[in-house]
A and B are shown apart, each in its own frame.
Chain A
Amino acid sequence: MSDRLRVLGIEGTAWAASAAVYDTEAGDASGRRTRSADAETDSVCIETDPYRPDSGGIDPSEAAEHMAKAVPEVVEAALDHADGPIDAVAFSRGPGLGPCLRTVGTAARALAQSLDVPLVGVNHMVAHLEVGRHRSGFESPVCLNASGANAHVLGFHDGRYRVLGETMDTGVGNAIDKFTRHLGWSHPGGPKVEKRAKGGDLVDLPYVVKGMDFSFSGIMSAAKQAVDGRESHGDARAHQNSKSSEDDGEAVEDVCFSLQENVFAMLTEVAERALSLTGSDELVLGGGVGQNDRLREMLAAMCEQRGADCYAPEPRFLRDNAGMIAVLGATMYEAGDTIDVDDSRGARRRSSISATSG
């Protein structure tokens, strides 16, 4: 990058009302562990206010209300950290929940207009991938994206991503949530499974890899049956604390442990196969489930065994965040890929298309 840039990013596709300022030349310590020349000297300041449902999962209209209230606040907080004028406003254009996308799109347009700067519409999924590639400095990596609604492995080559393998049913986080909801645990289930898995023993669960694709529905059904025991049709919540011999189900600790062992080994196996197919020796992890220590450990062990480099971004860049929107927004701004602010109907139309395709 030649000129210093400050880009404000706004994220709000689902639960995270987030704003960030990406400064290409702030030179603070945030990027020091990475190899990229850009990431050595830049800085990303992120402000996030998460939507927390009272019970169950995300309610799209409640989430949109949260965005309407929280986005102006996080934007203001992020702008307070900027030590100079903003050059562009980047926002998460989709895919995501329709009501959230409309709210955030409107906020971004209004802000770009009032600051009189260009507006950049960023694809949320590409941002998840790009932030890791940017911070790793890798040229042609394989990217494993493991998030709530997604699970796929991609190759990056000649300036474009290609999907090499992906889940044939649900995203990895949502799959785990199906199991934890069965136990009466609140969303998100992944961190709770990770905690309960400690000290568990391996029980037999399905392991489903088809080439570089994979599926989770069979293993989640088996996991539910394993905690219930075969004959049990009773209240699943009763099993929450059961390591007793009262029923014939497996201990919750053991099922959590085995779930992690199987699901993350499946993801690691397809990532390894993708490295082998593409001939790449660089792996980048992305997505919120990438915060799981066991998954990170497996990927690191796999890469070490085959002599590949593995890069896992810090957790703040893995879960939904505006930092990744600002970083990709800066690249797109430099490439001239901006949206005409006055054409607000056009921008709105794009948002709703993204909403239906997400």
Chain B
Amino acid sequence: MTKRRVPKAYRHPDLDDRLRRDRTVLEARLTSAARRQGVPTPVVRDVDVPEGTLVLRTVGDADLQAALSAERARDVGRHLAAIHEAGFVHGDPTTRNVRVDGERTYLIDFGLGYYTDDAEDFAMDLHVFERSVEGTADDPDPLREAFEAAYADRGDDAVLGRLRSVEGRGRYQ
């Protein structure tokens, strides 16, 4: 499949160009970097930075949003721990940016990711995922517990601690 970052009419054209280029480059780089950590992601076949296009292999049958389960949430927790260990974040790990099929749980759309070693950034990844689960699931608690348990297995406990403080900063809970 070819993924093109469509220019956004609402954004200043120069700012839009800058964001589309940056995100296209990062997506190509981080999608491959994640796969090297054993996280299922689409294979990147081609990148055209000026056009803002990527050619990717299609993965999964459905978005996680449509197939949310504790087991899938666990997969996402494990995958995020793996990329955090490698020193980068996804940036936007919502249930719409996770694809699923019979066997695997894929992370896609790394366009908002970046390299970092800050626990705060890792905690934000977890926060974004939990927020999206809360926004779509009627009973998010078991999903959140499964997700955090899987992350704790492989990831850094300090990140989960920081997640609590990130949540505490939100104004409406």
Contacts and interface: CB of A to CB of B under 8 A. Distances in A.
Interface in B1-31: 8-12, 14-15, 18-19
Contact of B135 (A150, A155, A268): A155
Contact of A162 (B12, B14, B134): B134
A209 B112 contact: yes
Contacts of B35: none
B75 to A, nearest CB: 18
A204 B136 CA distance: 36
Given A152-B172, A207-B15, A212-B94, A164 B8 contact: no
A125 B96 CA distance: 28
A202 B171 contact: no
A210 B113 CA distance: 9
Given A152-B172, A168-B166, A265 B12 contact: yes
A29 interface: no
Contact of A261 (B11, B95, B96, B169): B11
Interface residues of A, number: 34
A163 B12 contact: no
A211 B12 contact: no
B152 to A, nearest CB: 21
A320 interface: no
Interface stretch (A39-47, A54-62, A295-303, A337-345): A295-303
A210 B172 contact: no
B153 to A, nearest CB: 23
B9 A305 contact: yes
- The secondary-structure label for the interface of chain B is helix
Interface in B41-93: 65, 91-93
Interface stretch (B98-106, B124-132, B142-150, B154-162): B124-132
B131 A212 contact: yes
Nearest to B12: A261
A277 B10 contact: no
A278 B65 CA distance: 10
Interface string A194-214: 000000001010010111110
Interface in A300-343: 301-302, 304-305
A202 B11 CA distance: 11
A306 to B, nearest CB: 10
Interface string A266-308: 0011000100111000000000000000000111011011000
16 contacts: A162-B134, A163-B131, A164-B132, A166-B170, A166-B172, A168-B124, A210-B92, A211-B124, A211-B127, A211-B132, A265-B12, A276-B96, A277-B65, A277-B95, A302-B8, A304-B9
* The 9 residue pairs across chains A and B that have the minimum distance between CB atoms: A211-B128, A298-B10, A301-B10, A302-B10, A211-B92, A261-B12, A265-B11, A301-B9, A210-B124
Interface of B: 8-12, 14-15, 18-19, 65, 91-96, 112, 124, 127-128, 131-132, 134-136, 166, 169-172
Interface of A: 125, 150, 152, 155, 162-166, 168, 202, 204, 207, 209-213, 261-262, 265, 268-269, 273, 276-278, 297-299, 301-302, 304-305
Given A277-B94, A301-B10, 5 more contacts: A168-B169, A211-B124, A273-B94, A277-B95, A302-B8
